[in-house]
Amino acid sequence: MDETGTSLATRERTPAPPVQEAEMSGLVQLAVKEKVPVEILERLVALQERVTDRNARTAFIQALSAFRDQCPPIQKTRQNIQFSRVDRAGVKGPAMYAGLEDIERIARPVASANGLIWTWNTTVDETLMHVSCKLLHIEGHFEISTVSMPYESKAGASPQQKYAITQTYGMRYSLIAALGITTADADTDGNVPGQASDKITEGQVADLYALADEVKANLPKFLAYMGVEALSDIPVADYARAVSALERKRAKS
């Protein structure tokens, strides 16, 4: 036992606290002052950079976690008249979605309060447009989510309009992916908006991906038909309908 009443064995098992940036900065400054060998100084600087990166990533994760806890449900209030869906009551109507403006209007103030901001970058190649959403934290760490999709379609629009439509689509879905959020149907039956329902399993998601690829389905169109943002959002009750829709695509091809 030492003078604090703590056994030496207990002290030995207690992990040392992580090195903080201020401590590392002090060590580097001291090393420079004492004119330590260059190789030792380089190792100290590299260690300082790792500590800074680790702390920045930790701050980013904490901020994103707080954002997800605080961000209210973002409801699908806009209609896509090009696609239809069948709701749980069996009523057919236009596919619903949350617009980019709706997502930003609700998410941006909460993100800003937690030190988060995002930007986009768009590149194109011969067949695809790649839209990347860069989610940054004030401590310096960032994560990038990219959505790739064809920008040519049979839609009755000019090339510029097709480009803009595809870019907006990519911005919306890359932002949703970067923030790790989902959008919810409007509350029309008394349920809590955004309340989670039983979703299909990971195995069923994988099966749907494989089936969609096998029948060469247009995935965005299929998601719109199902009224979801991603295959993983499909309710268990709609799994059979999803499989049936894809099998009909096989029969037509």
Euclidean distance between CA atoms 174 and 182, whole angstroms: 12
Determine, yes or no, domain membership for 97: yes
Full residue range of the structural domain in which residue 28 is found = 8-68
Look at residue 29 in the predicted model and tell me its pLDDT: 61
Query: Sorting pLDDT into bands at 50, 70 and 90, what band is 130?
Result: very high
Encoding tokens for residue 186? 């409007």
Look at residue 152 in the predicted model and tell me its pLDDT: 74
Residue among 170, 69, 174 at smallest CA distance from 118: 174
Determine, yes or no, domain membership for 183: yes
Q: What is the pLDDT of residues 44-75, one digit of tens each?
A: 667 777 878 888 999 999 999 999 999 988 88
Supply the Cα-derived Rg of the chain in whole angstroms.
25
23 and 40 in a single domain? The answer is yes
When divided into structural domains, the chain yields a total of 3
185 and 84 in a single domain? The answer is yes
232 and 152 in a single domain? The answer is no
Determine, yes or no, domain membership for 122: yes
